[in-house]
Structure 1
């Protein structure tokens, strides 16, 4: 009788608090609760090579709405991950070929330990993420591969409950072999060394600055992180003291900056030497905030007075090598002249 009571109590405990196998990873637990962007759940997966990842528990037919769940996984050093999609039913609009167009809910898989500015895995669009419904014939056919032993999965759902069944992934880690080829997993591009951040670009940021506990980006000694560069950004001339006019980039030995947000040309009326520069988006907005008498971003040229009473000209433009010459001033001058002529004409009439 005593043995029966002990077994009965043990069964009650197991039913009341079911334990998941170590090989199972959930994005939403049985109550629909999960860790978010600022404090993602972190799991160190060192004791086995194959794991199962589910959007929610098997007791829940559908995933919860209004969630932003993030889990980060760290495998064995010198290994990489293969992610095989075995089930996928996430709300969103896709093309006839199954390519996401607009994802109301989405899944994003990052090639790093956080999702702030990390590279998404090859084949996942940073604007949409993954959504849609996997056909029966496609089960197990969709595969993603990391460049190192770390990955982060983000599962974000909007406020509308749409009764979708979520997803199931099979994760497998194996010694690094660079199966994707090309530059994506090239060790020279900070892809495979343990602890190295897989930087994205400014356009790929997934979160606003106030959602990020730290500014991401792996910076080696003597190098500059590219987290604020632009995808398909423009090219700008760069020099610290070169002629305003005439300006000859070849004679003046001018460098060129790539992946810029805007180009600039700044000069002091007294010295008439210009500084030309390639600006990232963040640095450009910071400069605008620091200029006296100017309180919002602009393209073209404006003149202001600095703290020493000197007149300083600021010009900004957004096309390739547009900070070369006086063409930056032309539109500004023409606009001003046109306005003056219009005013005079009105007064005369």
Structure 2
């Protein structure tokens, strides 16, 4: 009996210790998985100012190969980030001064809400990123500062595992002041207004040639440039004051938006008419920011109250024309028709 209680206690302790605290941000989880460059994780850092960012969980000694992990951190409005690298062991070659020469795996840090080499933090080469191994005497001396309250982290690893222990850095946010980045953070150019281009040549707009369709600055030949659109994105219904259910796009004056990041259907339960829309990534994140009681991007439906106290349903989905009729309504109609046909068959047979 005592052994059983001891075993259960050990299991509970293991579960507690395995839980990652809110102050720790992990790129690769305990299964070696992460959000990709095609679907980056977005985290809002509103409840605290100090964090630790690590390449992978402590359960794994080495980080996993063949990953392209991307996470965007959004801090408090009017704040900026400072990060101090405390450990660094990423596969690549450096020169005698520790400057990266060829990075097989790399870490890149962007002063923006997406991977965009024109906004790499000062001191990071867009061709290589950061790699190599920091000596003990160098730990804590590598410091980066953002110009605003957004930081995107990209950790890309090659096909082969080389038993490297990855990186960690301390991250803090504090009220914005003119950073030590010099003209890169000139308030007349950037200030605290994220999203304004700093510098960079046309080549620097690209993260890599393989990733260029999703990077702002990618310019397909012979078309008008719209940096907000998702290349090869999804299609969405668009209409104002159209029925929630039943919804007939052919009869309800519905348009179709293309190259969308997500589709939306927004309606309140009093009037039961919907607004359907195609959202590009930045607009979607701005809408999430504006919704009361909701502070994280989501797929599916959530309810909240508007300024007039009415219940509003916000629904987001990420497949072609997914903001039409709900599946439950379709399933209900199919079931009703099936039951009706069965009843008719029994009456006449």
TM-score bin (small chain)? 0.5 to 0.7
Taking the aligned partners of 2:94 and 2:112, their CA distance within structure 1 comes to 27
1:157 match? 157
Verify the 8 A CA contact 1:117 1:201 in the aligned structure 2.
no
Q: Deviations over 1:42-71 (max 9, x none)?
A: 110011111000011112111111111011
Which residue is 1:102 aligned to?
Answer: 102
- The alpha carbon displacement at 1:160 in A equals 1.1
Shift of the alpha carbon at 1:202? 2.4
Aligned runs of 1:331-342 on 2, under 5 Å? none
Does 1:28 pair with 2:28?
yes
Answering whether residue 174 of structure 2 is matched by residue 174 of structure 1, we say yes
1:81-230, aligned counterparts within 5 Å? 81-194=81-194, 196=196, 200-204=200-204, 205-208=206-209, 212-213=213-214, 216=216, 227=217
Give the gaps of 5 or more residues in structure 1: 217-226, 229-281, 288-349
1:62 maps to which residue?
Answer: 62
Residues 261-292 of structure 1, C-alpha deviations (whole Å, 9 max, x = no match): xxxxxxxxxxxxxxxxxxxxx57x549xxxxx
TM-score (norm 1): 0.57
In the alignment, the residues of structure 1 paired with residue 211 and residue 103 of structure 2 have an alpha-carbon distance, to the nearest angstrom, of 24
The structure that has the greater radius of gyration is 1
Residues 189 and 196 in structure 2, CA contact (< 8 A), matched pair in contact too: no
SS of 1:154's equivalent in the other structure is strand
Look up the match of 1:268: none
Counterparts in 2 of 1:111 and 1:210: CA distance versus 1, 3 Å? closer
- 3-state SS in 1 of match to 2:101: strand
Query: TM-score by structure 2 length?
Result: 0.57
Partners of 1:192 and 1:118 lie apart in 2 by 17
Moved more, 201-210 or 76-85: 201-210
SS at match of 2:65: coil
**How many residue pairs were aligned?**
220
Using the TM superposition, give the Cα deviation of residue 12 of structure 1 relative to its aligned residue in structure 2, in angstroms: 3.5
The residue number in structure 2 matching 1:300 is none
1:112/1:150 contact within 8 Å kept:
yes
In 1, Cα distance between equivalents of 2:163 and 2:98: 20
Q: Does the CA contact (< 8 Å) of 1:111 and 1:198 recur in 2?
A: no
Q: Kindly report the root-mean-square deviation, in angstroms, between the aligned alpha carbons of the 2 structures.
A: 2.7
SS of equivalent residue, structure 1 residue 55? strand
User: Counterparts of 2:133 and 2:7 in 1: how far apart (Å)?
Assistant: 43
Residues 195-244 of structure 1: CA deviation (Å, up to 9, x unaligned): 5565754211104486645x63xxxxxxxxxx47xxxxxxxxxxxxxxxx
Aligned equivalents of 2:188 and 2:173: distance in 1? 22
